[in-house]
């Protein structure tokens, strides 16, 4: 199981990586605040990815859970979706998929295990869920959405190359 924040969910949907996340983590959960941010507000703003996320919820591939965890004061600096995701992941003892750098910092301080979508791709490659060719296409698609700094993208490709050579 994994908890996913709004930014990461949008990245997954826009780069067509949601099924890979489902394959890796089996159960995807989002808080009601993430649903509101991605689907409700997204549809209101006319974002086509909002309808895709909504369809995944209706198919029960993504489960919505109410935000009921006690909020740490350190979460106050984050948006509601990020703070709820981190709080729920901490309560349930599961990892959170978070791509916002400030949210990652806060999660680390709270000892919440975190991943980002690019690291999810590395994990999929290491676990042999995807090939190097798949990785390269998925990383390119993700980069077109996430706009990584060039050094981060180069590091991602270097790590993938090392893993692909190591796993042979």
Is it the case that residue 28 has pLDDT exceeding 80?
Answer: yes
% the chain with pLDDT above 90? 88
Contact 104, 12 (CB under 8 A): no
Which range of residues forms the domain containing residue 60? 2-115
The enclosing domain of 102 has a CATH number of 3.40.50.1010
The reported pLDDT for the residue numbered 166 is 82
Both 110 and 126 in one domain: the answer is no
Any residues with CB less than 8 A from the CB of 161 and at least 6 apart, and which? 132
Is it the case that residue 17 has pLDDT exceeding 80?
Answer: yes
Both 65 and 19 in one domain: the answer is yes
Number of structural domains in the chain: 2
Both 66 and 134 in one domain: the answer is no
Is it the case that residue 168 has pLDDT exceeding 70?
Answer: no
Both 15 and 60 in one domain: the answer is yes
Domain stop point among 115, 139, 156:
115
Both 148 and 72 in one domain: the answer is no
Average pLDDT (6-24) is 96
Is it the case that residue 167 has pLDDT exceeding 80?
Answer: no
Q: How confident is the model at residue 121 (pLDDT cuts 50, 70, 90)?
A: very high
Both 88 and 159 in one domain: the answer is no
Dist. CA 78–CA 80, nearest whole Å: 6
Domain stop point among 74, 91, 115:
115
Q: How confident is the model at residue 81 (pLDDT cuts 50, 70, 90)?
A: very high
Q: Return the bridge partners of 2, or none.
A: 28
User: Structure tokens of 61?
Assistant: 């591939």
Average pLDDT (28-36) is 96
Dist. CA 168–CA 105, nearest whole Å: 34
Both 64 and 92 in one domain: the answer is yes
Q: How confident is the model at residue 133 (pLDDT cuts 50, 70, 90)?
A: very high
Dist. CA 66–CA 51, nearest whole Å: 21
Both 139 and 97 in one domain: the answer is no
Indicate the pTM of the whole model: 0.93
Dist. CA 28–CA 6, nearest whole Å: 13
Average pLDDT (77-89) is 92
Q: Is 109 helix (H, G, I), strand (E, B) or coil?
A: helix
Both 77 and 28 in one domain: the answer is yes
Dist. CA 102–CA 136, nearest whole Å: 27
Average pLDDT (115-129) is 97
Dist. CA 80–CA 6, nearest whole Å: 10
């Amino acid at each position: 199981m994994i908890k996913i924040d709004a930014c990461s969910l949008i990245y997954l949907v826009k780069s067509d990586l949601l099924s890979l996340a489902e394959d890796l983590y089996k159960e995807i959960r989002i808080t009601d605040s993430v649903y509101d941010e991605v689907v409700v507000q997204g549809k209101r703003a006319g974002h086509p990815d909002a309808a895709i996320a909504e369809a995944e919820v209706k198919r029960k591939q993504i489960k919505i859970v109410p935000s009921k965890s006690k909020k740490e004061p350190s979460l106050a600096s984050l948006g509601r979706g990020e703070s709820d995701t981190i709080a729920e992941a901490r309560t349930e003892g599961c990892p959170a998929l978070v791509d916002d750098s400030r949210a990652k910092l806060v999660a680390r301080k709270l000892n919440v295990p975190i991943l980002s979508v690019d690291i999810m791709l590395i994990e999929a490659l290491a676990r042999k869920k995807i090939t190097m060719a798949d990785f390269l296409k998925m990383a390119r698609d993700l980069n077109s959405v996430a706009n990584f700094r060039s050094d981060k993208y180069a590091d991602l490709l270097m790590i993938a190359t090392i893993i692909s050579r190591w796993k042979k």
